[in-house]
Structure 1
Amino acid sequence: MRIIINFDLEGVTGVVLETEQTGRSERFYEQSRVLSTGDINAVARGAVKAGVDEVYLIDSHAGWGQNLIFEKLEEEIRYLNGRSASRPVSVMSEVYQSCDAIFLVGLHPMRGTHRGVIEHTFLPPINVLRVNGVPMGEIGINAAIAGHFGVPIAFLSGCNKAVEESKAHFGDIETVEVKKGLGRTSAILLPPTISSKLLEESANRAVKRIKDFKPFEIKEPTTIEIEFQHTGMADAAEMTPFSKRVDGLTLKFEGPFLEAYKALQSMIRHASSQR
Structure 2
Amino acid sequence: MDNQKRPRILVSVDMEGISGIVHPGETNPEGYDYGRGRALMTAEANAAVAGVLDAEPGAEVWVADAHGSYRNLLPEEIDRRARLVRGKPRPLGMLAGIDERTEAVLFVGYHVRAGAGPGVLAHTMSDALLDVRVGGRSLGEIGLNAAMAGHLGVPLVLLSGDDAACAEARELVPGVHTVAVKEALAQFAAATTHPEEARERLRRAAAEAVAGRARAEPLALPGPLTVEVDLAAAHTVDLAVLVPGVTRAGGARTVTFTAADFAEAYRLVVLLVRLGSIRPA
Once the two structures are TM-superposed, the CA of residue 93 in structure 1 deviates from its matched residue by 8.3
Residues 77-88 of structure 1: pairs in structure 2 closer than 5 A:
77-83=82-88, 85=89, 87-88=90-91
More helix per residue: 1
Residues 30-109 of structure 1: pairs in structure 2 closer than 5 A:
30-52=35-57, 53-62=59-68, 64-83=69-88, 85=89, 87-89=90-92, 95-109=98-112
2:226 to 223, 226, 235: 223
Can you give the 5+ residue segments of structure 1 that lack an aligned partner in the other structure? none
Matches of 2:185 and 2:255 in 1, distance apart? 33
Once the two structures are TM-superposed, the CA of residue 38 in structure 1 deviates from its matched residue by 0.9
Once the two structures are TM-superposed, the CA of residue 191 in structure 1 deviates from its matched residue by 0.6
Identity of aligned residues (%): 31
Matches of 1:185 and 1:16 in 2, distance apart? 5
**2:62–2:97 contact (8 Å) kept in structure 1:** no
2:259 to 250, 255, 258: 255
TM-score when normalising by structure 2: 0.91
TM-score when normalising by structure 1: 0.93
**1:4–1:99 contact (8 Å) kept in structure 2:** yes
Once the two structures are TM-superposed, the CA of residue 78 in structure 1 deviates from its matched residue by 0.3
Report the residue type matching 2:23 in the other structure: L
Matches of 1:94 and 1:54 in 2, distance apart? 11
SS of residue matched to 2:67: coil
Once the two structures are TM-superposed, the CA of residue 94 in structure 1 deviates from its matched residue by 7.4
Q: Deviations over 1:158-183 (max 9, x none)?
A: 00000000001001111100000000
RMSD value, Cα: 1.7
SS of residue matched to 2:276: helix
Report the residue type matching 1:55 in the other structure: V
Matches of 1:93 and 1:227 in 2, distance apart? 25
Matches of 2:96 and 2:82 in 1, distance apart? 19
**2:91–2:267 contact (8 Å) kept in structure 1:** no
Q: In the alignment, does 2:20 pair up with 1:17? A: no
1:110 to 108, 113, 126: 113
SS of residue matched to 1:143: helix
Q: Deviations over 1:94-134 (max 9, x none)?
A: 74222110000010100011310100011233211101110
Residues 1-12 of structure 1: pairs in structure 2 closer than 5 A:
1-12=7-18
Matches of 1:21 and 1:176 in 2, distance apart? 21
Matches of 2:9 and 2:271 in 1, distance apart? 28
